Structure 1
Amino acid sequence: MLKRLIVIVTAAILFSNSLTLAQTKKPKPPDKFPPSPLEITTPDPLLPRLPKDKQPLTLQEQQKLEPALDALNQEAAAKLQAGDQIAAFEIWNRELRLRRFFGPLAEVQALSRVGAIAWKQNNGEEVQYITQRLQAIQKQAQSQKKTAQVDLELWRSLAEAYQNVRSIKLAVEAYDQVLLVVRQQKDPIALVEMLKTIGELHLTWFDYTKAAPVYEELLSLATSQGERVNEVTYLQRLAYIYEQTKQPQKSLNVLNRLVEIYVSQNNLTEIPELKLAIASDYESLAEKDPNLLLEAFNNYQEAYITAWQLLQYVRAGEALQKLIALYRSQGQIDEALQTSQILVQTQTQAANFYGAMQAYDQIGQLHLERKDFPQALTAFKKGLELAQQLKHQEAYFTGQIQKVSKAN
């Protein structure tokens, strides 16, 4: 975003400077930006008549014009496929101008179709023209009172069109209008679908702050209706959101609910990963309340035990690594050494010889902290054996052995 801002500011300065120079050479007002091709008012020969104020054509006139517009769409697509993008969008713009006479819904759907193509072709100008036209239709829709059904269809189409041109903020605004009507209609199924659409849109664009209340409402609805599968889905979404937004207490609440659900279903497969996340949250909270470190220890241990029982040796090793780091941070070297020995066994069981090699290095370093040189030497030698098998970090372990031998 910062780089983009710098580029925009720099471009603005350069444009300002070039404009100043041009005015110095020939004092005349600067050229205006060319009008949008979607706003050209020249009568089109395809129109059966010139409708006043661009009002929709009659049904009979629309049925007569429709095949011609479909033909324009096909012609534009053929031009694009042939590599003539300029001609293609000229034809599409003509089609879009004529689609206006079919009413706002038909026009928005056509704008959405062409907007998606313009975005894919990286045609920034066309995307801008289409976005501007969509905003004009939106403004008109806001000022008119129509039936709820017509409003819903038009607003949904507007939101989808904005998505196609990647105007996410405008898309959400349009969906909010749909959501407002759905709430008024008290349609629970439509409400859930609309909330899911808005929530996924926020997540897609990493707007976690706005996504959170949407999924909180979805969770509340799922819980009240006893929809366990959906409840789990929304809890998982919220766990991810709270992790990204660094809210450990809220994350804990969600993760513990997930653990309860999985345990009640006797589905223990997910428990080790959840316990690791819970322990991590307790570590974060312990920065302000050290008493919570015990909870972190307990959950890391539970993660290890459950993972070992489930033969999830990689996850078990991860839990042990976290425990070792926690022990070391508290100056509990004996406990860290004992856990490191278990880590060697776990990595060996998992046939993770690289992990076992690293564990021996860790044991060696812990013994060095205690000035226990013989034990450190033994650990580094075992690490070297694995390094030679892996043909990796042999020089490192050889250097450690030489260094410890001198100290010893």
Structure 2
Amino acid sequence: MLKRLIVIVTAAILFSSSLTLAESKKPKVPDKFPPSPLEITTPDPLLPRLPKDKQPLTLQEQQNLEPALDALNQEAAAKLQAGEPVVAFEIWNRELRLRRFLGSLAEVQALSRVGAIAWKQNNKEEVQYILQRLQAIEKQAESQKKTAQVDLELWRSLAQAYQNVRSIKLAVEAYDQVLLVVRQQKDTTAVVEMLKTIGELHLSWFDYPKAAPVYEELLGFATSQGERVNEITYLQRLAYIYEQTQQPQQSLNVLNKLLEIYVSENNLTKIPELKLAIASDYESLAKKDPNLLLEAFKNYQEAYTTAWQLKEYVPAGDALQKLIALYRSQGQIDEALQASQILVQTEAQAANFYGMMQAYDQIGQLYIERKDFPQALTAFKQGLELAQQLKHEEAYFTGQIEKVSKANL
């Protein structure tokens, strides 16, 4: 027993020692990642001299260097085309390191160009290197902003470069710097252009809450300057934004402004679609204020009436479907039945036989709710005739007919 205990203790000590040894032999985690290839400081033969004390190259030296860098860009592009992406980006990185000596703007524009290619090639490391360098340049530009005039072209280029590597938050922040300056300069044209760019960026990334105030401001400019086309565009954008963010009251405000414009211009073709959207907003708002249901009914009816007058039978049918659903939700079966009968005629005008078939089904279900089985049977038989022509849902209508026939006995 004692011998066995000694063996166990000895094994435990050896196991513990082996663990300690293994831990001591673990590879050390490097303190930092390898340096970015854009930060390599090895002298390059293309440089006429090593700039001392961070003194920039002379204008003549820059002019002599630029064609050589353009040649590097072309060489890298050729390598990429030839299926050698690793070599291509090595050449581009060399070009980018040297572009630094031509000034921040030239460097950012080159970073922007190569960044777009890196993103397209899904070269995540290269994108990260470029992003880091862009942020370093931005930090430098930020510090210079306090002592010198803001370089708008540099900030615009930074924003575009961030866009090219899909860093939208940083792109917007850079554009905000430009916007701040052009606001101070009271340059309305530049302000509008910046707002449009920022708004489109927010929309492209589905950031609707940030897009909304931008387009509200753009709408203000367009309205005050009587730019009707732009006014309509911004109202449409806002209507979409408020629909996506489920803000029916804001949506309603925008849609009513659009309606006023279309009515004043006698542009009736746009009205059914607008009335449908307005009715839908009222229906949403009626969940808190039931009195608004009357406005929902009214706008669905007007959407149908206008569409019918314009012989736009598809939106007319959409309006009737919404109206029927609303009647049913309020227990107004007679009104729902009346609208369903009109829907059959509307779908017939649109030559939408599938829509007619569904309308007959709806009528049948409504008559069942009223326990009017003979009328329900008639509706389902009419639906079956269409189903047989379409060779679709025949079994369903046959089943409904059998079920109603039994209930009618």
Residue equivalent to 1:12: none
1:226-285 deviation line (CA, Å, top 9, x unaligned): 111111111111111111111111110100010000000011111000000000000000
CA distance in 1, matches of 2:85, 2:77: 9
Which amino acid counterpart does residue 25 of structure 2 have in structure 1?
K
TM-aligned CA deviation for residue 56 of structure 1: 3.0
Percent of aligned positions that are identical: 86
What's the counterpart of residue 12 of structure 2? none
CA distance in 2, matches of 1:53, 1:393: 84
Structure 1 residues 57 and 323 mapped into 2: Cα distance closer, same or farther (>3 Å)?
A: same
Check conservation: 1:55, 1:101, Cα contact below 8 A.
no
Q: Which residue of 1 aligns with 2:247?
A: 247
Aligned equivalent of 2:47: 47
User: 1:384 is matched with which residue?
Assistant: 384
CA distance in 1, matches of 2:181, 2:238: 26
Contact 1:301 1:319 in 2 (8 A): yes
Q: Secondary structure at the match of 2:328?
A: helix
Residue identity matched to 1:49: R
Retained in 2: the 8 A contact 1:55–1:103? no
**Aligned counterpart, 2:29:** 30
- Which position in structure 2 is the counterpart of 1:100? 100
| Residues 22, 162 of structure 1: alpha-carbon distance in 2 compared, 3 angstrom cutoff | farther
Pairwise CA distance, 1:23: 7.8
The aligned amino acid for 2:405 is S
| TM-score, length-scaled by structure 1 | 0.93
Q: Deviations over 1:335-381 (max 9, x none)?
A: 00000000000000000000000000000000111111110110000
**Is the CA contact 1:272–1:315 (under 8 Å) kept in the aligned structure 2?**
yes
Partner Cα distance (1:53, 1:171) in 2: 32
- SS in structure 2 of the partner of residue 45 of structure 1: coil
Is 1:64 equivalent to 2:80 in the alignment?
A: no
Q: Deviations over 1:195-250 (max 9, x none)?
A: 10111111111111111111111111111111111111111111111111111111
* Partner of residue 121, structure 2: 121
What is the aligned-residue RMSD (CA, Å)? Answer: 1.6
The offset of 1:25, in angstroms, is 6.2
1:383 counterpart letter in structure 2: G
Alpha-carbon distance in 1 for matches of 2:71, 2:217: 46
Whole-angstrom CA distance in 1 between matches of 2:244 and 2:301? 25
Deviates more, 1:111-120 or 1:307-316: 307-316
Given that residues 75 and 91 in structure 1 are in contact (C-alpha distance below 8 angstroms), is that contact kept between their aligned partners in structure 2?
A: yes
Contact 1:119 1:165 (C-alpha < 8 Å) held by counterparts: yes
Q: How does 1:173-252 map to 2 (within 5 A)?
A: 173-252=173-252
Change (3 A) 1:197 1:323: same
1:393 matched to 2:385: no
Q: Residue 170 of structure 2 aligns to a residue in which SS?
A: helix
**Aligned positions of 1:4-403 closer than 5 A:** 24=23, 26-31=25-30, 32-52=32-52, 54-145=54-145, 148=149, 151-403=151-403
Ranges of 4+ aligned residues in structure 1 off by more than 6 Å: 20-23
Distance 1:95 1:23, change over 3 A: farther
In structure 2, runs of 5+ residues without a counterpart are 1-18
Counterpart in 2 of 1:17?
none
Q: Aligned to 2:129, what secondary structure does the other structure show?
A: helix
Change (3 A) 1:404 1:246: same
State how far apart, in whole Å, the 2-side matches of 1:54 and 1:21 are.
50
Structure 1 residues 55 and 287: alpha-carbon distance in aligned structure 2, compared to 1, 3 A threshold: farther
Higher Cα Rg: structure 1 or 2?
2
- Call closer, same or farther: CA 1:226–1:81 in 2, change over 3 Å: same
Change (3 A) 1:21 1:337: farther
Which string of whole-angstrom CA distances, capped at 9 and with x for unpartnered residues, describes residues 16-49 of structure 1? xxxx999836245312311100000111111000
Distance 1:22 1:58, change over 3 A: farther
Asked whether the 8 Å contact 1:56–1:100 carries over to 2, the reply is: no
Q: Which amino acid aligns with 1:312?
A: E
CA distance in 2, matches of 1:116, 1:55: 30
Give the letter for the 1:201 counterpart.
L
Structure 1 residue 407: Cα displacement: 1.2
State how far apart, in whole Å, the 2-side matches of 1:53 and 1:387 are.
86
Matched-pair contact (CA < 8 Å) for 1:182–1:191? yes
CA–CA distance in structure 2, aligned partners of residues 321 and 140 of structure 1: 61
Amino acid at match of 1:24: E
- Residues 22/376 of structure 1: CA separation in 2 closer, same or farther (3 Å cut): farther
Describe the superposition over 1:278-306 as per-residue Cα deviations: whole angstroms up to 9, x where unpaired: 00000000000000000000000000000
